[in-house]
Structure 1
Amino acid sequence: MLRKLLAALPILVLLLAGPVARAQELLAEVTVTTENVTISDPTIVTSMQKDIREFLNNRAWTTQTYRDAERIRLRMFIGITTIPQNGTYNCIMRLVSTRPVYGTGYETNVISINDKSFNFNYSPQMSLRFSPNSFDSNLSSLLSYYAYLVIGIDRDTFGKLGGTPYYELARNIVNYSANQTSTNEPDEGWRGTGSRERHFLLDNLTDPQFEAVRTGLYNYYRLGMDIFIEKPEEARASMMTALTGIQKAAITRPGSLIFRAFFDAKAEEIANVFRTSPDQSQKQQLVAMLTEVDPGNSAKYQTVLK
């Protein structure tokens, strides 16, 4: 795949500054729900869903060319919880990004992210615009931030620390959004004093103490899942290396958001991969290790030993 070949090349990141003819990176499914609120005009939800999907899918976020089959699939679920005033929406958001496994038709979850303070102003008449260096609207900033986060994490799975340029772009969005005074959309989540998930997840990904997580993504996917069909034992060994590094980082900084985002996406798959291992000692080591750092999914890990 082209992304695998590009992983070894230096990445020159130029932000889009016009209608450049190249394939888009994202293929997002967007679902907006209103289970807890009443909206008099349901077409607003339909319009919101369409505008968010098109904003994510119809622009080139990087200078790299992605074939249609290589676009990063993600599912974004937005639940409107309250409408404080006309045109203002307080929401919760869950995002799951996936990645194809080389040589198979299997899509593997890469990351699962929750944002409990996904709040923005919206009207069907507004135009969602993105500027790399200035604030336009909170919805634009939120979507752009998560677009670069997803691209960065995906790049980390194809090349060691390959996502760094995209985390820097996400950081730029955090900085100008935290300092914006041009609209009535104050969002403490950009400062880390409101929705801690958004601010601290990026901090985790760019903190040198968590480098084992990012190199672990490469070992888990490129040296693990991508070769599993042909070399299952070698793949499991690489995945154990990845998980051991993640465990050590988790012990150093317990409770950090990056570990929750990783294990929420991967626990079931990890159990499935190692359940068929012929190495009983490897299974026991895995279960002991992951039960310690991810006790919430311990029941799934215990199935490895059955």
Structure 2
Amino acid sequence: MMRKFLAALPIFALLLLAGPAARAQELLAEVRVSTENVTISDPTIVTSMQNDIRTFLNNRAWTTQTYRPEERIRLKIFIGITAIPQNGTYSTTMRLISTRPVYGTGYETNVVSIVDRNFNFNYSQQNPLDFSPNSFVSNLSSLLGYYAYLVIGIDRDTFARLGGTPYYELARNVVNYSANQTQTNEADEGWRGSGSRERHFILDNLTDPQLEAFRTGLYGYYRQGMDIFIEKPEEARASVMAALTGVQKAALTRPGTLFARAFFDAKSDEIANIFRTSQDQSQKQQLVTMLTEVDPTNSAKYQTVLK
């Protein structure tokens, strides 16, 4: 499956076109809100919150590109409410996992796994979620809009080299106006990089020219690797190896980068499976040595490649 890509547009044009007037509907999100750590007297609030977030993400057009139903970007969002400081105000953590189909198969591959530990917002069943691509409406809509653009940008990078650039610019726009808003009681230090480091710095990782190998690695891993694996497994493995080498170099250039963590959290099992059946022992050893250095958390998984 190959998405049709937009011609390059100036950022102001994308801002004008990315609103609800278009009908692209790029996302197909599942949303789950957990209340395990709090007591909520009215459970309908949780049901409404889930439905409103899902509808907001899935029914809004975030780009001008036409997506067929089977091309929509699947993502799962898990929101765990950790505290309710006051009525209508929610402190939560959020985990997002986006997936992508592999060409010529029924396989869905995880693309990225992101955690936001300070996903905090106001919510009322009586106030519908609304969003503007160039002004602050509410912290919840800004958070969801930011992650929508981020997910779309990452997905585009897997189909075209650096294809996600316009959507990272839109995500950056959300960061800027959310950081500078003073009209509401929803000040969020995460937009300034001092609260939710995950939210602020993962975008920096993706837009830093010195870390461009993260993004070119996405294209090499998916379009030049996974998408041809069924027909040309050895060529696909070589492309995946080259992509991972680039990711490793970028991660070592800037140790502790959040995108590297999000990438390997989503990909470690799959990477091991890709190379486990390889007949090239030197390639397998090179892979294990490289990934044990850059992703020691999952080193046990990579060691299974050699067995």
TM-score (norm 1): 0.97
Aligned to 2:306: 305
> Relative to structure 1, is the Cα distance of residues 19 and 114 closer, same or farther in structure 2, using a 3 angstrom cutoff?
closer
Q: Is the 8 A contact 1:77 1:95 kept in 2?
A: yes
What CA distance in whole angstroms lies between the structure 1 residues aligned with 2:139 and 2:298? 34
Structural mapping, 1:142-153, within 5 Å: 142-153=143-154
User: Residue 14 of structure 1 aligns to which amino acid in structure 2?
Assistant: L
- Deviation of 1:261 after TM superposition, in Å, equals 0.4
Q: C-alpha separation between the residues in 2 aligned to 1:6 and 1:231?
A: 25
The separation in 2 between residues aligned to 1:291 and 1:18, in whole angstroms, is 44
Aligned residue in 2 for 1:236? 237
> Is the alpha carbon distance of 1:232 and 1:297 closer, same or farther for their aligned partners in structure 2, counting shifts above 3 Å?
same
Counterparts in 2 of 1:17 and 1:265: CA distance versus 1, 3 Å = closer
Q: 1:17 to 1:164 in 2, by over 3 A?
A: closer
What residue in structure 2 maps to residue 95 of structure 1? 96
Superposed displacement of residue 2, structure 1: 4.4
The offset of 1:75, in angstroms, is 0.1
> Corresponding residue for 2:130?
129
In structure 2, the residue matched to 1:60 is: 61
Q: Within 5 Å, which residues of 2 pair with 1:242-261?
A: 242-261=243-262
Match of 1:48 in 2: 49
Q: Which amino acid is the alignment partner of residue 63 of structure 2? A: T
RMSD: 1.2
After superposition, give the CA deviation of every residue in 1:12-60 in whole Å (9 maximum; x if it has no partner).
6523476535330000000000000000000000000000000000011
d(CA) in 1 for partners of 2:84, 2:20: 35
* Structure 1 residue matching 2:14: 3-state secondary structure: coil
Contact 2:84 2:90 (C-alpha < 8 Å) held by counterparts? yes
Whole-Å Cα distance in 1 between the matches of residues 149 and 299 of structure 2? 32
Deviations 1:248-276 (A, max 9, x none): 11111111101000000000000000000
Counterpart code for 1:152: G
The count of aligned residue pairs is 304
**Is the CA contact 2:23–2:60 (under 8 Å) kept in the aligned structure 1?**
no
SS of equivalent residue, structure 1 residue 14: helix
Structure 2 unmatched ranges of 5 or more: none
Q: Which residue of 1 aligns with 2:188?
A: 187
Q: TM-score, normalised by structure 2?
A: 0.97
Q: 91-100 vs 125-134, which deviates more? A: 125-134
Q: How high is the sequence identity, in percent, across the aligned residues?
A: 81
Query: Is residue 2:16 matched to residue 1:31?
Result: no
1:156 alignment partner in structure 2: 157
Kindly provide the amino acid, as one letter, of the partner of residue 229 in structure 1.
I
1:6 aligned partner: 5
Distance 2:2 2:280 in 1: 34
Cα distance change, pair 17–290 in 1 and its aligned pair in 2 (3 A)? closer
Note the C-alpha offset of 1:6.
2.5
User: Where does structure 1 differ by over 3 angstroms across 4 or more consecutive aligned residues?
Assistant: 9-13, 15-21
Provide the secondary structure at the position in 2 that maps to 1:6: coil
1:138 aligns to what?
139
Tell me if structure 2 keeps the 8 A contact 1:23–1:68. Answer: no
Does structure 2 retain, via aligned residues, the 8 Å contact 1:36–1:81? yes
Q: Name the CA distance, whole Å, in 2 between partners of 1:69 and 1:250.
A: 33
Q: How far is the alpha carbon of 1:235 from its aligned partner?
A: 0.2
Aligned position for 2:83: 82
The SS at the match of 1:57 is: helix
